[in-house]
Amino acid sequence: MTGSDTEDVEIHGIAAGGTGVGRLPDGRVVFVHRTAPGDRVRIRLTVEKDRWARARLVTLRTPGEGRRPAPCPYYDRCGGCTLQHLEPHLQLEARGGLVQDALTRIGKLEGLPPVELHGTQPEFGYRNRASFTLRRLGVRPEAGAMVTAGRTPATPQVLAGFHALERPDRLVDVGGEGPCLLLEPTVARLWHDLRAAWGHNASRLPAGAELRLTLRGLVDGTGVLLVEGGGGRGDPEALLADVPGLRAIWSRPANGGRPRLLAGEEAPEERWFGERVPVRPGAFLQVSREGAHALHALALAELDPQADDRVVDAYCGFGVYGRAAARRGARAVGIELDPEAVAMGRARPVDGFELDEGAVELRLPGALPADRVILNPPRGGVAPGVMEALAASPPRRLVYVSCDPATLARDLRRLGPGFRVTRIQAVDLFPQTSHVETVVTLDHVSSTPSTPSTPSTPSTPSTPATPA
């Protein structure tokens, strides 16, 4: 049926990636972007497999409750926001459902407490960092640009924006119809001024067929730019001078080498969790200020470090949780692979907190036993060996902060039956998208927490979470 044939289906849920989920007459599951639970839609299949299919929305016959017109002018084309057509409370419910589904389906965990949902911020204007793709069209690749469709236009052109929905090879130019609605005002202004100042064919930026431009706005209304994938310098000094509030331009080569400062200040500072933090390429700070502070408060409350506890903060960056634990009187160690993050933390010492540079899977066994451990890994989750080390030398409390429900579920399954899940909290750091941050609290089954976790909303008693 792929191609010209169409089919009517009803959408009953939201899947990872933000696609609506329906069922074809033959019983196969079908995934359809831009649909909502309760929608009756006509679709056209684009991909068919034995047990599932993907389809494109052709006609919305009957809208479900909670559907709304998407306010962004780029929404029909852009692949960035996949849930903007849902009211905020339904977006939050969908994210909670993704967490619950992953823990039960992928993690095979039983007896879980309900997922608590936390909306933490405005639905628009929250991103302090955004990455855009810039593509130069019409110049031969050896001259630093891309030939498109075998033709060389007479006038070189530049596209700069986000990848298209389900077509990552295509770009949606972002600027002419207004800013992306997710951007903080500082980032939106910097993007507008950068586009106006980068010159004909973006000649003030480093050469290259395709560049990745990441803007980060700082709390004082200024910002920094990282250019990735180009070669040469361009004219960064002139660009810096013509973009008000831009304080630094960095470049990272296409081979992923170390970034270098092209123009401006080496380390503008940002205030984060009450501390002054230098902002350099590679330094990880959440894209949402309000959301990050809410997430930090929730995770720290669950970790609940006590005086004289031994605490391990793994995948710690410069040591957000370990530093906070040490200020409460705990003996804390942070484990971090990135040498720049470690150097930043060591340059701002806190009594009772030490930083151990290296891979968590190698360093964690030497940091155990501990009373409390917090894991805050990247999207790929923890490396093999980490959960096994925790199972072999279990802390009384383990807090896992995750940005990917699937890898969270996989890692908790590896932990085995020695812990029970006492609380699951889904935190809305990325409105309009299907991304979600999750804070999972686990206690060792033979331990009695010194201060039990108290949910902000009533929940049913939890039972040991073990692989089925």
Q: Which CATH number fits the domain that encloses residue 39?
A: 2.40.50.140
Give the pLDDT score at 453. Answer: 46
Give the pLDDT score at 239. Answer: 96
Looking at the fold, whether 252 and 364 belong to one and the same domain comes out as no
Number of domains composing the chain: 3
Write out pLDDT tens, residues 399-411. Answer: 999 999 999 999 9
Looking at the fold, whether 434 and 366 belong to one and the same domain comes out as yes
Give the pLDDT score at 231. Answer: 81
For residue 89, how many other CB atoms are within 10 A of its CB? 11
| 202 occurs within a structural domain | yes
Q: Confidence band (pLDDT; 50, 70, 90) for 2?
A: low
Residue ranges making up the domain that contains 261:
129-266
pLDDT for residue 227 is more than 70:
yes
Looking at the fold, whether 391 and 296 belong to one and the same domain comes out as yes
Give the pLDDT score at 280. Answer: 77
Looking at the fold, whether 228 and 314 belong to one and the same domain comes out as no
Q: 176 or 26, which is more confident? A: 26
| 75 occurs within a structural domain | no
Looking at the fold, whether 203 and 258 belong to one and the same domain comes out as yes
pLDDT for residue 463 is more than 50:
no
Look up the CATH number of the domain holding residue 364. 3.40.50.150
Write out pLDDT tens, residues 170-217. Answer: 999 998 788 899 999 999 999 999 999 999 999 999 998 999 999 999
Looking at the fold, whether 210 and 321 belong to one and the same domain comes out as no
pLDDT for residue 145 is more than 90:
no
pLDDT for residue 319 is more than 80:
yes
Give the pLDDT score at 213. Answer: 96
**DSSP secondary structure string for all residues of 90-145:** HHHHHHHHHHHHIIIIIS-B-SPPPEEEEE-S-SSS-BSEEEEEEEEESS-GGGTS
| 460 occurs within a structural domain | no
Active site residue ranges: 403
| 272 occurs within a structural domain | no
Residues 55-79 have a mean pLDDT of 93
Looking at the fold, whether 306 and 248 belong to one and the same domain comes out as no
Give the pLDDT score at 456. Answer: 42
Looking at the fold, whether 247 and 151 belong to one and the same domain comes out as yes
Q: Side by side, which strands form the sheet with 437-444?
A: 115-119, 419-428, 437-444, 397-402, 372-375, 310-314, 331-336, 353-357
Give the pLDDT score at 221. Answer: 94
| 91 occurs within a structural domain | no
Residues 82-102 have a mean pLDDT of 94
| 305 occurs within a structural domain | yes
Write out pLDDT tens, residues 154-167. Answer: 445 899 999 999 88
Looking at the fold, whether 297 and 436 belong to one and the same domain comes out as yes
Looking at the fold, whether 439 and 413 belong to one and the same domain comes out as yes
Looking at the fold, whether 374 and 260 belong to one and the same domain comes out as no
| 362 occurs within a structural domain | yes
| 462 occurs within a structural domain | no
Looking at the fold, whether 176 and 217 belong to one and the same domain comes out as yes
Give the pLDDT score at 282. Answer: 64
Percent of the chain with pLDDT over 70: 90
